[in-house]
Structure 1
Amino acid sequence: MVLQLSSQEIAERTSAVVEELAQLEGPLLPILHAVQHEFGFVPAGALPVIAEGLNLSRAEVHGVMSFYHDFRETPAGRHVVKVCRAEACQSMGGDALAERMRERLGVDWHGTTADGNVTLEPVFCLGLCACAPAAMVDGRLVGRVDEARVEALLAEVGA
């Protein structure tokens, strides 16, 4: 269930985040992370508030937000599964496992299942290269992912 937020509530909560973090050196990324933490995503209505608070253009803020794949424009599913797409994981069969997850969930990268349960995201290195292929489920690292582990992980998140 997605909470319906008024534009005023988005503006007020975003303003509070900007006010708290604007004095940092290079505050844009910390502010975007804090806003995403606050709402679960970065609402479009937050961008002009951030831009004004930092004396940046909306295009600059949007450009930074859209450049980094960790920022979402819409809420994620109840569970987030990240699959490593880096070379070490690819060399250990990660491409086939990633494709299997996409097929089983019926979504593409950055997609969320129709029931809102699982969001699938690519990530370019989880730092678990010695245990490739790797994934992350709701912030928990999982190494040596094989076909059986894919099924277990998807069952764990209710897919």
Structure 2
Amino acid sequence: MTMRNSAGEIAQRSRDIIRDRKHLEGPMLPILHALQAEFGYIPDIVKPVIADELNLSRAEVHGVVTFYPEFREHPGGRHVLKICRAEACQSVGCDNLADRVRQLLGIDFHQTTPDGAVMLEPVYCLGLCACGPAAMLDGEVYGRVDEHCLSEIVGRLGR
């Protein structure tokens, strides 16, 4: 679905997604994941729809969306680059790597490049603790990332 759709179309598509999942035990997270997969983020307009469908307050929905860093409230880039910031990766140089990627992209964590190509996100463990520092680009993980590898990864983004 493209974001050119009207608010009514977004709300209706959201209701369909919610109704497909609201029977699940603890349906909020599966619903939010599905909505983010559909729209690329959690639009403000869907929060009252979720609240209505699940008989929750808007504050409860907003609290869940803002608590989990995986959920975005604004559109992200076409590519998502995540740099592990967990302790194991910190011990092998992820801070320098993070500084370098921010310099290469000209953005900070939780930002998207002006051309909309890349969103940079911190992540707190990719499960590659023995192979740090680690990064993930569009779901593909990389271990033992150094500046050379990082430059190659950024170069693949086709900005």
Shift of 1:108: 1.1
Matches within 5 A, 1:137-156: 137-156=137-156
Question: Structure 2: how far apart are the matches of 1:137 and 1:10?
Answer: 28
Question: Structure 2: how far apart are the matches of 1:38 and 1:16?
Answer: 11
Partner of 1:75: 75
Deviates most, 45-54 or 71-80: 71-80
Partner of 1:117: 117
> For residues 109-139 of structure 1, what are the alpha-carbon distances to aligned partners after superposition, in whole Å with 9 as ceiling and x for unaligned?
1100000000000000000011100000110
Q: TM-score, structure 1 length as denominator?
A: 0.96
Shift of 1:158: 2.7
Shift of 1:10: 1.1
Matches within 5 A, 1:10-89: 10-89=10-89
Question: Structure 1: how far apart are the matches of 2:147 and 2:17?
Answer: 43
Unaligned runs of 5+ in 1: none
Shift of 1:3: 3.0
Question: Structure 2: how far apart are the matches of 1:44 and 1:5?
Answer: 14
> For residues 17-51 of structure 1, what are the alpha-carbon distances to aligned partners after superposition, in whole Å with 9 as ceiling and x for unaligned?
11111111100011000111111111110100000
Shift of 1:5: 2.6
Partner of 1:131: 131
Q: TM-score, structure 2 length as denominator?
A: 0.96
Number of corresponding residues: 158
In 1, are the aligned partners of 2:3 and 2:39 still within 8 Å (CA)? no
RMSD, aligned α-carbons: 1.0
Q: Percent identity?
A: 58
